[in-house]
Structure 1
Amino acid sequence: MAFEDLQPTAYGVATVMFILGTVSIFLRLYCRSVILKTFGWDDVMAVFLLLVNTTQQAILYIFLHYGCGIHITLLSAYQIESIVKWLFIEEIFYMFTHWTIKQAFLLFYLRLSPQKNFRRMVLGTMVLNTAFTAINWMLAFLQCIPFDAILHAAAHPGAKCINKLVLLIVPSILNIITDMIILILPISTVWSLQMSIRRKIGVLAVIGFGASAVLISALRLIILYELYISPDLSYVLGKMVIVAALEVEFAVMAVNLPSVKALWNQITGGSSSGSGAASGYSGAYKLSSMERKRDGQYKQSSKVSGGRSGNRGSVTMLEQGVMSNESEEELFRQQGIKVTTNVAVTMGDKGESDTESGRRGYGGYQHAR
């Protein structure tokens, strides 16, 4: 049996989800500025997202104030006219909200790797995200000629308008396309990092939380089609308020989750011993907190037996030049090298030379036996 009044449910869902999304933003900012001390451009975008998300929430409340969630036959002409006006405003701002969320995610991706190809793909996705938003705005503003026919359709019987179903479905499809690209983009980069498989899966799981927003976006298509075929505009928009609140706030939480993971590790003691800014990090979070050195490159070299040195690949878990004990142990264990703290080079009874002794313990590293 259908609810005759969706407003209590819509108010409840929208409020709870907004609180969760807002708390995740504040936790992110706390982790980045206080715990990790790696405040970056993606965090600046998170501050902007806080303002954008608050405005989006206010629009949802305005919808409910004018009667969304209640059958249209119970509303006054003024309420219906107000809903139509705010529906157009929400079309524009909803697209901008998603643009902001995606840009915050992509700015975070720029921390993941110094590889030029990956960074070019991220920057290309930023451009694509902006282009899709511009296309959606053009569809919204040019959907009817004259423009006033958008808000007062009855007053312009001869207006030329784009098919309503196209206006409802195309923006959502473009939104889903960019969501899928953003989800797929980091997989190969994360999988190539010098980490255990367990940690790689953990990192991808944290990033992949955004898939929840993609699923909700797909479900939103059902509500959009119902909006196209149903004359009960206000009641269907009550459902849309619920779905929009879930979709936006899950996406907001997905953006902030990699940063909040550091707070979880600090509370649970999930990381092994470290010091300074590196203390309390997990391998998963270090990916999000890597900073490029001034020369634009990440470098790592390790000295091996016989005085030879070999490059073991680019650094993948640096945090402002500090590597925690946990990461060091993990990396050297993978390479068959173990870290030693004290090395004493002495002349043995059999006349062993310093060079021969050094082959066993040069630079504090020994081959694991």
Structure 2
Amino acid sequence: MIENRGPQLQGVVSWMVSMAFVAMVLRVYVRIRLLKAFGWDDAWMIFAMLMHIMFATCAIAGVHYGTGRHFKDLSPEGIYKALRYWWLCYIAYCLSMIGAKISIGLFLLRITPKKIHHWIIYTVMGLTVLTGIVFLFVTVFQCMPISYFWGQALGADGSCINIYVIIGLTYLYSVISAICDFTFGLLPIVLVWDLNMSRNSKIALIPILSMACVASIAVIVRMGFVMKFVTNDFLYDTVDIAIWSDVEQGLAITAGSLATLRPLYRLASDRLGWSTRASSNGPKIKSQYDRSGFSDHNKRKRSGLFSFTTVNPGGKEDEEYGLENCRPIKLEEYVVPDMRGSWVGHNVF
């Protein structure tokens, strides 16, 4: 009987991309229809979703040609095509995490009024950009010529980076990635606690905004499989790395999108009668933005790479709308790119 882990990979990929897509659609609905405040963080998350779809498509195509099966059970042509799709998955993964991390960082910049928090976020984003660039470079140029990664199945000439160098870089990346994710996840606790909201509202809001650290779980779990890069049966032995890389993308996009859905929850609560707020005119979910993108009250414009309005430090609006008072980073402004990669290839024969 031929061992085949391909269906396992295909099932995980299909589930994660579907879950992330639903969360992404809800995010876009909230920002465009409810708040009318589509920003750069939303655009980057859409980009991440598109790259995740590309990853899923390439992974499923790879399963069709041999990913998840032993080399001995595949033809050279099947190995060639499966490895080529695997290489494309590397690229899609890197670009997906680029978009997700930039989006999460920009979202946190929207809701924090303190300069020290800005510097923390900038530092984390810069660190992920640096490690991402290194890993994207290694991913693309791990073999020379590039086509040797999949062409070796048909006897092509070339060479690849020493596998232990790649393993060392992968561990280093994973540690930095986990630290950055947990920083993004813990920072909202400090941000929310300074808001003029009830204690119960703060307790309810903190888990939503701290979802950024969820993806780090997949990073940590994947570290246990990194040594499987040392193998003579690449397409079969590295399935776990592929699975957890896909889980990381799905969790990052889903969690990053769920953190923006509080207005939708408030609207649903009002219409279903779950809300305890008094209301005589129906749900009070509305946009707090004028045409310039700033809220109509407590405007505080900052100079530099980003400018935005902070939440009202006191008053009823904080309690009514929470973080919906924040101004989005507008599309005409610019951002620092973030790049991020992970599992990489090597000579597979």
What TM-score, normalized to structure 1?
0.70
Task: Indicate yes or no: 2:220 matched with 1:246.
Answer: no
TM-fit CA distance, 1:244: 2.6
1:279 corresponds to which residue?
284
Cα deviations across residues 241-296 of structure 1 (Å, max 9, x unaligned)?
43233221111111111222322232232542458998148xxxxxxx99596551
Q: How does 1:134-153 map to 2 (within 5 A)?
A: 134-144=133-143, 150-152=149-151
The answer to whether the Cα contact below 8 Å between 2:49 and 2:253 also exists between their aligned partners in 1 is: no
| Aligned-partner residue type, residue 240 of structure 1 | I
Determine what percentage of the aligned residue pairs are the same residue: 23
Larger Rg: 1
TM-fit CA distance, 1:162: 5.5
Q: 1:119 to 1:165 in 2, by over 3 A?
A: closer
Task: Indicate yes or no: 2:269 matched with 1:268.
Answer: yes
Larger RCO, structure (CA 8 Å, separation 6 or more): 2
TM-fit CA distance, 1:208: 2.5
| Aligned-partner residue type, residue 117 of structure 2 | F
Q: How many residues align?
A: 301
Cα deviations across residues 282-340 of structure 1 (Å, max 9, x unaligned)?
xxxxxxx995965517xxxxxxxxxxxxxxx972489xxx9277469xxxxxxxxxxxx
2:62 corresponds to which residue?
63
Equivalent of 1:196 in 190, 195, 198: 198
The answer to whether the Cα contact below 8 Å between 1:223 and 1:240 also exists between their aligned partners in 2 is: yes
1:348 corresponds to which residue?
none
TM-fit CA distance, 1:149: 5.0
1:296 corresponds to which residue?
301
Q: 1:26 to 1:68 in 2, by over 3 A?
A: same
Task: Indicate yes or no: 2:28 matched with 1:26.
Answer: no
| Aligned-partner residue type, residue 76 of structure 1 | S
Q: 1:276 to 1:162 in 2, by over 3 A?
A: farther
Distance in structure 1 (CA, Å) of the matches to 2:68 and 2:161: 30
Q: How does 1:92-171 map to 2 (within 5 A)?
A: 92-144=91-143, 150-152=149-151, 155-156=156-157, 161=162, 163=164, 164-171=166-173
TM-fit CA distance, 1:54: 1.8
- Kindly report the root-mean-square deviation, in angstroms, between the aligned alpha carbons of the 2 structures: 3.4
| Aligned-partner residue type, residue 49 of structure 1 | A
The answer to whether the Cα contact below 8 Å between 1:111 and 1:290 also exists between their aligned partners in 2 is: no
2:317 corresponds to which residue?
323
| Aligned-partner residue type, residue 48 of structure 2 | L
Q: Which runs of 5+ in 1 are unaligned?
A: 282-288, 298-312, 329-369
| Aligned-partner residue type, residue 120 of structure 1 | W
The answer to whether the Cα contact below 8 Å between 1:266 and 1:280 also exists between their aligned partners in 2 is: yes
Task: Indicate yes or no: 2:232 matched with 1:231.
Answer: yes
Distance in structure 1 (CA, Å) of the matches to 2:89 and 2:267: 39
Q: 1:57 to 1:111 in 2, by over 3 A?
A: same
TM-fit CA distance, 1:105: 0.5
Q: How does 1:1-80 map to 2 (within 5 A)?
A: 4-80=3-79
| Aligned-partner residue type, residue 323 of structure 1 | E
What TM-score, normalized to structure 2?
0.73
